[in-house]
Structure 1
């Protein structure tokens, strides 16, 4: 099932869209709703989604600003914008920014179905192209070997999916799918594990501040580093450092 995020400041619009999408019986599922672009950006930072349906006119952050900010994401979802007839100049701007398609209010069921089916076909074609471009036996594993070698020689703070994909001359979306297929884990999860392991090493072997360690392993946000650390290690970075240092002291006493 493909995951969809709905972004609209009017709750009744989101409710109607979700009900209609469910009724269409396509292999897609609305997994979350947001009231504006800023809220959506924050949610996407910590969650996976394949497609975003967003209104153009919203308070706090409108749809165009949201689409622009989304460009800075390492792995960004496709976007379909929703507009009214007299906002077509905004739709044109959105299309130039790389959104997949647009829908006009009031949204008809058939228009929504056709738009979503077209998007699903696009995703199928991307996967088909990926499969046809890879040698079944050798190329996937050799590509992943090159990816892992690149990751090993590159500072963790500098690793992005886009840069790794450029290094192996592959589309980031294709590489992400290949990585999961070959290693049975997501690229982002693998990098997170490496960052936390390096964080553990620095916590025990250096006297660097938490913020310095977070930055060294690729986190500009200390709270985000701490949350990921706790998820994997089962305790906070500070508690991990204290327990390991106490263990070292007890072994030397």
Structure 2
């Protein structure tokens, strides 16, 4: 089933093309209309079409600009330009944006049907449709929510396997698939939060731009698995607040180079999951929080004359005294010795 978007500011053209397409025999799930390029872009963002038929001369945003925007999106959309004789130069420019077909007004039924046939032939060679419907997303959300809420590990694993394969097969770019995945995860966490699961939830994946879909999927998989395990442990009465546990561990080990991975392993959490959870809960990264606590402790020690600055440096995990001084100055705005002078203590 194909999704088609027709872009033209003439109602009669829109109506005529719609009728011709319906009569073509091509399996169509939706035919949408837009009066200009700006409306068309909104429609594309709402539901990615397989084929776009666009006029060139339109108000607000013309077909040339629309073709350029579609090319920038790098979406697997086949575009057909519709124009009059006077627009042929513009049509040639559109071809440079990857436009595959050019139709000259007035358009005949046979001409349109032949064009549709070529579009369908190319689409079949590309493989699976790039479209992810809202209904499909809702279906997967419901299934994932149920598997996690009822701690059904087998079902969760099967969903991760099958949906991972389905996502990978869609004809979308890595960026598009990653964006879908990030939005899906946020919706899933929102649904779980509404059920009052009483566990800390990482509400968004915070995936970096440019991350491959394989890496993004691994993050998603880890976070779903961790959420399921946390819910299981909570219901067994074994789950402590991981962030408070992490803070306490950092506090006990200010003199050591405590790593995020070390604390995550101690808590039985995946490092990526723990990292995002820590940032969402505290508003700081793990390293930022650890550095802040070290500097706060250093300030308390600097307030006691009996401690030498070099000893304080070691006490808060800095074997390199110059590195400690630099970090303290960055945090406090003045050096440790200047801080002591402000307190009326000689270095």
Distance 1:83 1:15 in 2: 16
Alignment of 1:1-253 (within 5 A): 1-73=1-73, 75-127=75-127, 162-163=173-174, 189-197=180-188, 216=206
Looking at structure 1, the residues matched to 82 and 75 of structure 2 have their Cα atoms a distance apart, in angstroms, of 22
Q: Which runs of 5+ in 2 are unaligned?
A: 129-160, 194-198, 210-347
Alpha-carbon RMSD:
3.6
> Within 1, Cα distance between the matches of 2:59 and 2:123?
31
Q: Is the CA contact 1:2–1:27 (under 8 Å) kept in the aligned structure 2?
A: yes
Instruction: State TM-score, norm by structure 2.
Output: 0.41
- What residue ranges of structure 1 are gaps of 5+ in the alignment? 129-140, 149-160, 165-171, 177-186, 207-212, 220-253
Question: Distance between the aligned counterparts of 1:126 and 1:215, measured in 2?
Answer: 30
- The answer to whether the 8 A contact 2:182-2:204 is kept is no
Deviation, structure 1 residue 41? 0.3
CA drift of 1:20 comes to: 1.3
Structure with the larger RCO, 1 or 2 (CA within 8 Å, 6+ apart): 1
Deviation per residue, 1:110-130 (Å, 9 max, x gap): 1111111011111122229xx
Equivalent residue pairs, number: 166
TM-score for both structures, normalised by structure 1:
0.55
Distance in structure 2 (CA, Å) of the matches to 1:218 and 1:200: 24
SS in 1 for 2:57: coil
Displacement of 1:197 in angstroms is: 4.9
For 2:207 and 2:192, locate their aligned partners in 1 and report how far apart those are by CA, in whole Å: 11
After TM superposition, what 4+ stretches of structure 1 lie above 4 angstroms from structure 2? 197-202, 213-219
